[in-house]
Structure 1
């Protein structure tokens, strides 16, 4: 099967809800649903998080990041970390574990390197989303960070299937964008139960329409995606050079400019990104 036919077949399966997830993804999905239960309290959440080592480590790291630890008092245990970040951030962190797990079974070193690069891109977008939402667009920062974490989940699913179809992620990026990204992305996002506002923001990213200064969650995600210093490896076209958008995008933001906001928030973005990676 050639690359385009394989893309179309995987997209058709995703549209029908026929998705193949690794076992560890199903386990983390169950954990995420348990965290979302109304009667889940701090003690229960801490126990659930401790059962997933990667989520536990990421929760403590986020709690100690500059964005969540403004007083400079580090926490050293999961319960204190859960209490500091809150349940909504915890849900976003659980999603980050799920996204990473999608391609965790890859054995091909090139595909693993692409998955790592895709996550580095996603982590930067998520961190930028949180800062832009809080300081520029004034949408909910936790929702914005969640949108950044999951905006490339379709790409991770594609990579998870790539060993079945040699050459699936090679060649023209336009084929992925035109024939796979939206259909596969929608299918995986639906399977993960991503909230409607976040789905709408990712749809806006796919459509490429935004306002400057950003006003909506979709605008925030698009701007963060453009500003991310590491592009998605699935969107890079052969022979294309990457231009850092931060050098060309600027506008008045409150009493300053976007460039000033990014400079002032650089340590927060760096700290959040490192915690997610």
Structure 2
């Protein structure tokens, strides 16, 4: 398999035959989501689910005590943390915190690539969360999750490439395949996870820098801006995009030349997210 076209054709055939291996959402996130969707669920139930994963429990407490939530007094147990943050926020945070498990390489060949991809996701998520705080109709923690899943479609491409020496060695070729396939695959993955349509749209449309729409700013607008800002100063193709031509910047209400992370309070929020998700 020496060409991008051959590799893409094989992935498309796998999709058509339902044989392409898509990532699955960790069980603790599924249980938390299903529990929170029950109108009679309680903080105690969600705490019990979270407690089955000690690492997740510790990180959720870390989040509750971080600058993201500015707790007036230290929070020392899960029930208090969940009660303070609310069930919906806790559900989104649990999903966000377990996402890193999907970016663990099964071979040395992909280790660096997956770590770099996760760092990019975290950067986009942190910027998206900060941007969402300016809009009452948007949930900052849903924006965080939107950033963490925006390139999720890259995972099955990288997993498939792991079995092909030519693809693993040719980074430029692999990058082109990821860019061409990841938005459609991301849509399929989030549909299989039964995510809300607004997050499915993020995975499907975040690369469409010409996207314009009626109505208020949405999560896809946030992620388009955050994605472009995350690549500023790099050699990525999106780094050369003229932000003044991107409708999402107008929707979000910031000048393209102003990086959101250069504003002091924003920088603190971004660093808090990074310390939690990259730790």
Q: TM-score range by the shorter chain?
A: 0.7 to 0.9
Q: 2:226 aligns with which of 224, 231, 237?
A: 224
Distance 1:45 1:117, change over 3 A: same
The secondary structure found in structure 2 opposite 1:265 is: helix
Counterparts of 2:189 and 2:117, CA distance in 1: 16
| Counterpart position of 2:42 | 41
TM-score, normalised with respect to structure 2: 0.77
- The alpha-carbon distance between structure 1 residues 228 and 86, as it changes in their structure 2 partners (threshold 3 A), is farther
Instruction: Name the residue aligned to 2:93.
Output: 93
Gaps of 5+ in 1: none
Equivalences for residues 1-277 of structure 1 within 5 A: 1-2=1-2, 4=4, 5-14=6-15, 18-20=19-21, 25-38=25-38, 39-69=40-70, 71=72, 73-108=73-108, 110-135=109-134, 139-168=138-167, 170-172=171-173, 173-178=175-180, 180-210=181-211, 215-228=217-230, 259=258, 262=261, 263=263, 264-277=265-278
Secondary structure of the 1:206 match is: coil
Tell which has more relative contact order, 1 or 2 (C-alpha 8 A, sep 6+).
Answer: 1
Name the count of aligned residue pairs.
265
* TM-score where L is the length of structure 1: 0.78
Cα gap change, 1:19/1:65 in structure 2, threshold over 3 Å: closer, same or farther? Answer: farther
Residues 80, 165 of structure 1: CA spacing in aligned structure 2 closer, same or farther, 3 A cutoff?
farther
Query: In 2, distance between residues paired with 1:198 and 1:22?
Result: 16
Q: SS in structure 1 opposite 2:172? A: coil
Which ranges in structure 2 are unaligned for 5 or more consecutive residues? Answer: none
Distance 1:96 1:12 in 2: 31
For the Cα contact (< 8 Å) 2:138–2:218, is it kept in 1? yes
- Whole-Å separation in 1 of the counterparts to 2:16 and 2:55: 30
Residues 1:12 and 1:75: Cα distance change in structure 2 (over 3 Å): farther
Residues 183 and 203 in structure 2, CA contact (< 8 A), matched pair in contact too: no
Partner Cα separation in structure 2 for residue 191 and residue 253 of structure 1 = 29
